[in-house]
């Protein structure tokens, strides 16, 4: 490998993992880093039942999908009703392979299809953070989904058809910032889970990556965030995007709603600016796809008003 390229691979890997720093980490530092991972994941707010004043991360939140209503699970360290008995390996397997400790398959409403890209170090830190929280006793609710989507076996078949566990691998031809952004968007922040349309069987349609979805979780519309000029966010500057992810205001001053607002409030607003800039760097390079879901005429008007 040419020396220049080796240096890029090395910096990319170092930016992702910062190995040397991690080796000397204290338990408190591990927990603090885990909190930062949770924030980069948008705060894992699907596991909080805000409508019912549910305790943070104790599950029970209804997530309506075209297949019925799934209830998120308790991910506090309660040994009976949460994940308190899980080993690091159990946690990593759930996140990266979509398997429960008893080996059964999770439904893809749990975005392991993205988390599969996460690094060992980020998963170890995230688990340490979750285990530093107070355990909450709250029984999981059975899903309210019609057959055959309610059968665990169908989740297994779905995985067989659509899912291959795979760690994120940096692209040596890109900069460290681009790779960091790609890692966050693909794996940790799982932007594609909401912003990419799905096929009839509920798989992410990779050919329309980030082109927006009108039937996202809770039936919300998640707009096109490809750099398409008129139907995506092609006219947003990197600063516009960083501002949106920090403050929740788009370039027109409209505030983010619904799930996006939650992920900003409980997560993205705390993410270091360099990471948000890395996200913007990566997003500017994904293929622009035309897909008008929102009326972006407002944004477009700044540049060239339609006649």
The answer to whether 257 contacts ligand HEC (rule: CB under 6 A) is yes
Choice from 36, 155, 194, 278 touching ligand HEC (CB under 6 A): 194
| Cβ–Cβ < 8 Å for 253, 25 | no
Stretch that binds ligand HEC, among 9-17, 87-95, 119-127, 191-199 (CB under 6 A): 191-199
> Which CA distances in Å does 44 have to 185, 189, 209, 290?
15, 10, 22, 30
- Among residues 242, 125, 54, the alpha carbon closest in space to that of 62 is found at 54
Q: Of 111, 72, 112, 62, whose CA–CA distance to 92 is shortest?
A: 112
- In 3D space, the residue among 301, 289, 287, 187 whose CA is nearest the CA of residue 251 turns out to be 301
Does 180 bind ligand HEC (CB under 6 A)? Our answer is: no
Distance CA 265, CA 93 (A): 28
Question: Can you tell me which of 203, 258, 292, 300 binds ligand HEC, judged by CB under 6 A?
Answer: 258
Q: Considering the rule CB under 6 A, would residue 193 count as an interface residue with ligand HEC? A: yes
Nearer CB in complex with ligand HEC: 127/195: 195
From 31, 130, 279, 289, residue interacting with ligand HEC (rule: CB under 6 A): 279
From the list 12-20, 77-85, 189-197, 201-209, the region that binds ligand HEC by CB under 6 A is: 189-197
Near ligand HEC by CB under 6 A, which window of 66-74, 133-141, 145-153, 190-198? 190-198
Q: What minimum distance in Å lies between the beta carbon of 271 and ligand HEC?
A: 8
Nearest-5° Cα angle at 114, 67 to 20? 160
CB 213 within 8 A of CB 198: yes
CA 187, chain centre distance (Å): 6
Q: Is 38 in the site for ligand HEC (CB under 6 A)?
A: no
Neighbour tally for 256: CB within 10 Å: 18
Q: Confirm or reject binding of residue 36 to ligand HEC (CB under 6 A).
A: no
Query: Is the Cβ of residue 156 or residue 270 nearer to ligand HEC in the bound state?
Result: 270
The least CB distance from residue 278 to ligand HEC, in Å, is 10
Report the half-sphere exposure of 200 (CA within 13 A, side-chain side).
0
Among positions 223, 227, 234, 288, the unique one binding ligand HEC when judged by CB under 6 A: 223
For the segment 44-103, give every residue that binds ligand HEC (CB under 6 A).
none
Query: First CA to last CA across the chain, in angstroms?
Result: 54
Of 30-38, 73-81, 93-101, 217-225: span binding ligand HEC (CB under 6 A): 217-225
Residue 177 interacting with ligand HEC (CB under 6 A):
no
Q: Is residue 98 classed exposed, middle or buried when 0-12, 13-18 and 19+ CB atoms within 10 A define those classes? A: buried
**Rounded Cα gap, residues 74 and 94, in angstroms:** 14
Applying CB under 6 A, the span of 60-68, 91-99, 154-162, 182-190 interacting with ligand HEC comes to 182-190
37 near ligand HEC, rule: CB under 6 A: no
Q: Pick from 260, 284, 286, 289: which binds ligand HEC (CB under 6 A)? A: 260
Dihedral sign computed on CA atoms, order 225, 227, 231, 235:
positive
Binding site for ligand HEC (CB under 6 A): 42, 185, 189-191, 193-195, 216, 220, 222-223, 225, 233, 241, 244, 250, 256-260, 263, 279, 294
């Amino acid at each position: 490998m040419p020396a220049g390229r080796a240096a890029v691979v090395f910096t990319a890997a170092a930016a992702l993992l910062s190995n040397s720093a991690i080796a000397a980490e204290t338990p408190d530092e591990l927990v603090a880093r885990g909190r930062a991972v949770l924030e980069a994941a948008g705060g894992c707010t699907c596991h909080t039942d805000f409508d019912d004043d549910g305790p943070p991360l104790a599950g029970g939140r209804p997530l309506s999908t075209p297949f019925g209503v799934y209830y998120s699970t308790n991910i506090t360290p309660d040994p009976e009703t949460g994940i308190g008995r899980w080993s690091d390996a159990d946690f990593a397997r759930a996140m990266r392979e979509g398997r429960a400790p008893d080996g059964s398959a999770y439904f893809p409403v749990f975005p392991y299809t993205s988390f599969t890209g996460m690094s060992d170090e980020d998963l170890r830190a995230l688990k340490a953070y979750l285990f530093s929280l107070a355990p909450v006793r709250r029984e999981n609710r059975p899903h309210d989904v019609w057959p055959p989507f309610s059968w665990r076996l169908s989740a297994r078949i779905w995985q067989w058809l659509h899912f291959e566990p795979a760690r994120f691998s940096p692209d040596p031809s890109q900069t460290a910032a681009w790779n960091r952004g790609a890692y966050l968007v693909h794996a940790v922040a799982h932007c594609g889970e909401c912003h990419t349309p799905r096929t009839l069987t509920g798989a992410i349609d990779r050919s329309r990556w980030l082109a927006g979805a009108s039937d996202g979780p809770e039936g919300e519309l998640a707009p096109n965030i490809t750099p398409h000029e008129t139907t995506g966010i092609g006219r947003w500057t990197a600063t516009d995007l960083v501002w949106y992810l920090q403050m929740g205001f788009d370039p027109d001053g409209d505030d983010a709603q619904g799930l996006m607002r939650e992920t900003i409030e409980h997560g993205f607003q705390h993410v270091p600016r360099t990471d948000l800039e890395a996200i913007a760097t990566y997003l500017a390079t994904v293929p622009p796809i035309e897909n008008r879901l929102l009326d972006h005429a407002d944004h477009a008007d700044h540049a060239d008003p339609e006649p």
